[in-house]
Structure 1
């Protein structure tokens, strides 16, 4: 299974990168391939290409602000394979979030 995610918080500092780390660690623990893009104070890092979105089983937007290039995820949204949560959910309830993503991928 493969997950792509974008993390972005209001300030673009702490919660953005905490959510990224939480998602990456939980996916690693479960043996799930993932790529997490951050859009924060440092700009866009680890940018996800459209081909990577298309190849992913599920996409997660852990965002509390509008993000750049959100239209990359329109097909995943239409397919019901997009989870949109606040970054705090990705930080505090990571296992549940990744479990929900895994269920969508089945």
Structure 2
């Protein structure tokens, strides 16, 4: 399974990157290939291409705020998850959304 994700938090510092790191570290346990775009204080890092989005089986928007360039995800089945949900139980995220 291929998942792409965007992580973003209101301040764009710690939680954005902590959530990305948690997703990347947990993905192999669930046999998931993942690419994570972060939208933090430094802007968009590791940007998802239109090809990345089109090839993904699932799109996760891990954010409690509006993300930049959200129009890229119109027409795809994007699932919105809170940053807190990922940080508190990343395994549950993969068990519920990673299948």
SS in 2 for 1:27: helix
Structural mapping, 1:1-106, within 5 Å: 1-77=1-77, 82-103=78-99
SS in 1 for 2:66: coil
Q: What is the CA RMSD across the aligned residues, in angstroms?
A: 1.1
**Whole-Å separation in 2 of the counterparts to 1:26 and 1:75:** 27
Structure 1 residue 17, shift from structure 2 partner: 0.4
**Whole-Å separation in 2 of the counterparts to 1:66 and 1:40:** 12
Q: Give unmatched runs, 5+ long, in structure 1.
A: none
Figure out how many residues of one structure are paired with residues of the other and give that number: 99
TM-score normalised by L of structure 1: 0.87
SS in 2 for 1:24: helix
**Whole-Å separation in 2 of the counterparts to 1:18 and 1:25:** 11
**Whole-Å separation in 2 of the counterparts to 1:99 and 1:57:** 15
**Whole-Å separation in 2 of the counterparts to 1:46 and 1:20:** 11
Structure 1 residue 22, shift from structure 2 partner: 0.6
TM-score normalised by L of structure 2: 0.93
Structure 1 residue 54, shift from structure 2 partner: 0.7
**Whole-Å separation in 1 of the counterparts to 2:28 and 2:43:** 25
